[in-house]
Structures are given as C-alpha cells and as structure tokens.
A and B are shown apart, each in its own frame.
Chain A
Amino acid sequence: QKEVEQNSGPLSVPEGAIASLNCTYSDRGSQSFFWYRQYSGKSPELIMFIYSNGDKEDGRFTAQLNKASQYVSLLIRDSQPSDSATYLCAVRSGGSYIPTFGRGTSLIVHP
C-alpha cells in the first residue's frame, strides 16, 4: 500500500513569513513528486513538480526533495493571504501513470 502523509493542519502563518509544508511517502520507487493548490470549493491546480533530489524554485515557491529520507516539502516565501488554501502532495512511482495523493495541508495566511 503506497502511502503519502501530510499534516492536515491548519498551518497558520503571518503575512510575509515563510510557510513550510511537508509530505512523506512510503514507496522508495517513487520518482515524480507534485504539489497542488486547492482553494475552498475549487479544483486542484498543479503548482510545482520535482523529480531530482534538491531544491527547485519557481517564483515564491520552492520544492525540496530528499529521496533518502522519503520526504518532499514546499516552501512559500513572502506568504500572502491569497496563498490561503489546501496544498495537496502527490507522488508517482516509476513506470506508473497514477499519482497517490496525500490528504492535504490547510494553510492560513493572516494579515
């Protein structure tokens, strides 16, 4: 059973701070890692993907992957109230078409 674990939160951070969202996974064969943002009542939107160990930056978002420790994280710098949403982590094994999703972490950025 492939498992993807996220703290459901909510994670509350002040505006301008760095929000750190974490995700661990059980399948050592996992090769692709995704972060989705989902606003309340809306559909998920892919915001980051990573497949190599280390950091990947895109604007205010940084994804960090550590395959040895089986975790992937998402950092949001200069957090804004508009970043308040649920962030879903998804992991896909090599040779698979199908990602496994975590339950998501709720992020609240307060002014």
Chain B
Amino acid sequence: NAGVTQTPKFRILKIGQSMTLQCTQDMNHNYMYWYRQDPGMGLKLIYYSVGAGITDKGEVPNGYNVSRSTTEDFPLRLELAAPSQTSVYFCASSPPPGTSETEQFFGPGTRLTVL
C-alpha cells in the first residue's frame, strides 16, 4: 500500500515550457485534489475530482489543466509555464467528505521552479 505517490519530486522549467505532474493513489479513493503551496502560505486548491471522468476548478485553476480517466490517477498539466507557477505542488486523496475523515492523505509533493 503506497498511499499517494507523486512524480517528479523536483523539476526546473523554462518560461513557456509545459509539463505534467503525475499523481497516483492505491486506496480506491473517489476524491482527489491538487494544491499548491507558496512559501509561508497555506494550501490553495487548484483542481479537484470526485471520481473518474469528473473534475472541477478550485481557487486557482488558471494556467493548469487536469484529467481523471481512472480512479487511481489524477495528472496535473501545466501549459506555458510562468514564474508565478513556481511552488510546491501536493496531490491528495480521500473518501467522500463526511464518510471517513481520518482517511485524508497527501503525496510527498513536487517542487517546481520556473525560470
């Protein structure tokens, strides 16, 4: 049981490049989330998904896209990277809210720098 895994751990992009951050969970959780965390700040929700084929925007979706073709995977796509996207990105998963609140798990994070 690996929990939530993310790849890569670190990445440096040039302005205008694109990349996909991978996230996989093996707990059969319906709900998955992408957050970004800037230094000294809390977590800001980028996108979330309540199940395969269903995604929705969070607080800060501009510049990002997601897809959810399977329960396990929830990749985050950055198109045309900008310095403002320099951040640490966390993927998380959980059962439906209100069912088992202790089963919230975060991946180890991806530290992205855009130069």
Contacts and interface: CB of A to CB of B under 8 A. Distances in A.
Interface of A: 4, 8, 32, 34, 42-46, 49, 88, 90, 92, 96-98, 101-104
B88 to A, nearest CB: 9
Interface string B58-87: 100000000000000000000000000000
B106 A92 contact: no
Contacts, number: 48
Contacts of A49: 101-102
Interface of B: 31, 33, 40-45, 48, 50, 58, 90, 96-98, 101-102, 104, 106-109
Contacts of B101: 32, 34, 46, 49
Contacts of B40: 8, 103-104
B58 A44 contact: no
B42 A102 contact: yes
B57 to A, nearest CB: 10
A74 B103 CA distance: 20
Contact of A45 (B33, B98, B106): B106
Nearest to A106: B40
A29 B72 CA distance: 32
Given A44-B43, A44-B90, A97 B48 contact: yes
Contacts of B58: 98
A103 B42 contact: yes
Contacts of A42: 108-109
Contacts of B97: 32, 92, 96-97
Contacts of A104: 40-42
A45 B103 CA distance: 10
Given A44-B106, A49-B101, A103-B40, 9 more contacts: A42-B108, A43-B107, A43-B109, A97-B96, A97-B97, A98-B48, A101-B42, A101-B43, A102-B42
B102 A46 contact: yes
21 contacts: A4-B42, A32-B97, A32-B101, A34-B101, A43-B90, A43-B106, A43-B109, A44-B106, A46-B102, A46-B104, A49-B101, A88-B42, A92-B97, A96-B97, A97-B48, A98-B33, A101-B43, A103-B42, A104-B40, A104-B41, A104-B42
